[in-house]
């Protein structure tokens, strides 16, 4: 009984870090419930659940965390605390709260259960699809009833977002759900009614992605296709008709299409130019203090602005002292993701898509999905072998002794 409860709690924490907030945000938009109250309550529940999982792992003497990742967590937390306490940066307090609740505690909690998480790939895919099915009706209800506003930096911007969830978050959410739905349809041979439901979810999330105008979501789809082609080259032919068919229906007046066209033609929109200016300033701050960094955010940018690239951000915030560990962590986790690509293809896709998102939008203190996936990949035992995933054609390798399973 306790084991089953623990498994469900692990899945809840994992799902929250992957797509929880956008789903919560769209429903607070529709219902009118105070988003801050609900989101704080949910984050408290996630923290308490994470602490319970950590305590349980310790009591079972199975607590584990990658030491280099733990050291990096400590370094970045020290930077945030220093900026708040000694540089009078009140925004750092918000970052500390979000960082601990959404990144540090979940990543540490799930590390001890890495093998279990890696063996429930299909279940995670299904949970993401169900989340998409819950999201679509609320999203289009909000769209039809004028609960969205256009978000951006120029007059032609038609990126739809709500007060509680921005266009970037909506783009990330719809991209991940679309990838999960496509993966399930192709790899797990669903029944006819399941295929019909998946088709409807794909259409709904596709439309929502274009309405969000999120360039990161589009890039994420490209990265997912590339990783899928590398992991499953026999399936590559399936992607061709989808790609060609999709191009025929791209609306020329859609903001996402215009943004991608401008990018390819080197006609940068104002939002892209602003991000490049911020990143240039961040790199200049790094060169001012290359060893230990200067600050987690430059207050001259104004509240809410950050480099939108975690590799640039870590150079600015922690200098080489923090950048070197992060680069090593990223390299090791990429290696692990590619190592598991044949049988755990979806996790490999999810990792690289999450990493891509944070090179185009996002911040270190809010990089929940990336650091949780990194923690899981790095903590998995070297002797761990992924279980056979239903729907794949390869024969499974022999499963190692159950002594490696944490549950």
Whether residue 275 is contained in a domain is answered as yes
Cβ-Cβ contacts under 8 Å for 256 (sequence gap 6 or more):
209, 210, 212, 213, 214, 215, 217, 218
Whether residue 397 is contained in a domain is answered as no
Taking residue 43's Cβ as centre, other Cβ atoms within 10 Å add up to 20
For residue 149, the cross-strand partners are: 161
Domains identified in the chain, total number: 1
Whether residue 398 is contained in a domain is answered as no
Whether residue 233 is contained in a domain is answered as yes
Whether residue 164 is contained in a domain is answered as yes
Residue range(s) defining the domain that contains residue 275: 2-386
Whether residue 404 is contained in a domain is answered as no
Whether residue 391 is contained in a domain is answered as no
pTM of the model: 0.87
Structure tokens at 146: 């004028």
pLDDT tens string, the chain, 407 residues long: the values are 778 899 999 999 999 999 999 999 999 999 999 999 999 999 999 999 999 999 999 999 999 999 999 999 999 999 999 999 998 888 899 999 999 999 999 999 999 999 999 999 999 999 999 999 999 999 999 999 988 887 655 555 567 888 888 888 998 999 999 999 999 998 888 899 999 999 999 999 988 988 887 778 888 888 898 898 888 877 665 555 455 445 444 554 555 555 555 544 445 555 666 777 888 888 988 999 999 999 888 777 665 567 888 999 999 999 999 999 999 999 999 999 998 888 899 999 999 999 999 988 889 999 999 999 999 999 987 777 765 444 444 444 444 444 445 56
Buried b (16+ CB within 10 A) or exposed e, 264-285: eeeeebebbeebeebbebbeeb
Whether residue 268 is contained in a domain is answered as yes
């Amino acid at each position: 009984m306790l084991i089953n409860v623990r498994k469900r709690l692990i899945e809840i924490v994992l799902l929250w870090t992957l797509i929880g907030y956008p789903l919560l945000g769209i429903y607070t938009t529709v219902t009118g419930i105070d988003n801050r109250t609900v989101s704080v309550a949910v984050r408290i529940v996630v923290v308490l659940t994470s602490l319970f999982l950590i305590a349980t792992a310790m009591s079972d003497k199975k607590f584990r965390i990658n030491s280099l990742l733990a050291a990096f967590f400590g370094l970045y937390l020290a930077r945030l605390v220093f900026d708040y306490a000694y540089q009078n940066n009140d925004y750092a307090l918000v970052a500390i709260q979000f960082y601990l609740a959404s990144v540090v505690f979940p990543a540490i909690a799930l590390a001890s259960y890495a093998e279990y998480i890696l063996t429930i790939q299909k279940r995670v895919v299904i949970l993401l699809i169900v989340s998409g099915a819950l999201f679509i009706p609320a999203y289009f209800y909000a769209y039809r009833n004028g609960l969205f506003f256009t978000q951006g930096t120029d007059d032609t911007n038609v990126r739809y977002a709500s007060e509680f969830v921005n266009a970037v978050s909506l783009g990330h959410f719809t991209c991940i759900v679309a990838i999960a739905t496509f993966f399930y349809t192709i790899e797990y041979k669903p029944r006819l009614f399941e295929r019909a439901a998946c088709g409807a979810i794909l259409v709904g999330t596709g439309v929502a992605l274009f309405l969000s105008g999120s360039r990161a979501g589009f890039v994420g789809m490209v990265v997912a296709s590339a990783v899928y082609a590398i992991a499953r080259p026999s399936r590559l032919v399936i992607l061709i008709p989808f790609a060609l068919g999709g191009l025929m229906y791209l609306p020329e007046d859609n903001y996402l299409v215009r943004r991608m066209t401008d990018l390819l033609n080197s006609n940068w929109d104002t939002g892209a130019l602003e991000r490049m200016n911020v990143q240039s300033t961040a790199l200049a701050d790094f060169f001012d203090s290359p060893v230990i960094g200067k600050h987690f955010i430059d207050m001259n940018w104004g509240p809410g602005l950050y480099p939108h690239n975690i590799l640039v951000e870590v150079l600015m915030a922690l200098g080489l002292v923090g950048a070197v560990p992060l680069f090593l962590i990223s390299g090791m986790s990429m290696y692990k993701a590619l190592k598991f690509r044949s049988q755990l293809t979806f996790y490999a896709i999810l990792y690289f898509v999450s990493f891509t998102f944070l090179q185009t939008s996002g911040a270190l203190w809010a990089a929940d999905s990336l650091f949780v996936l990194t923690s899981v990949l790095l903590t998995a035992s070297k002797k761990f072998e992924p279980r056979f995933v239903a729907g794949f054609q390869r024969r499974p390798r022999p499963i190692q002794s159950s002594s490696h399973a944490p549950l």
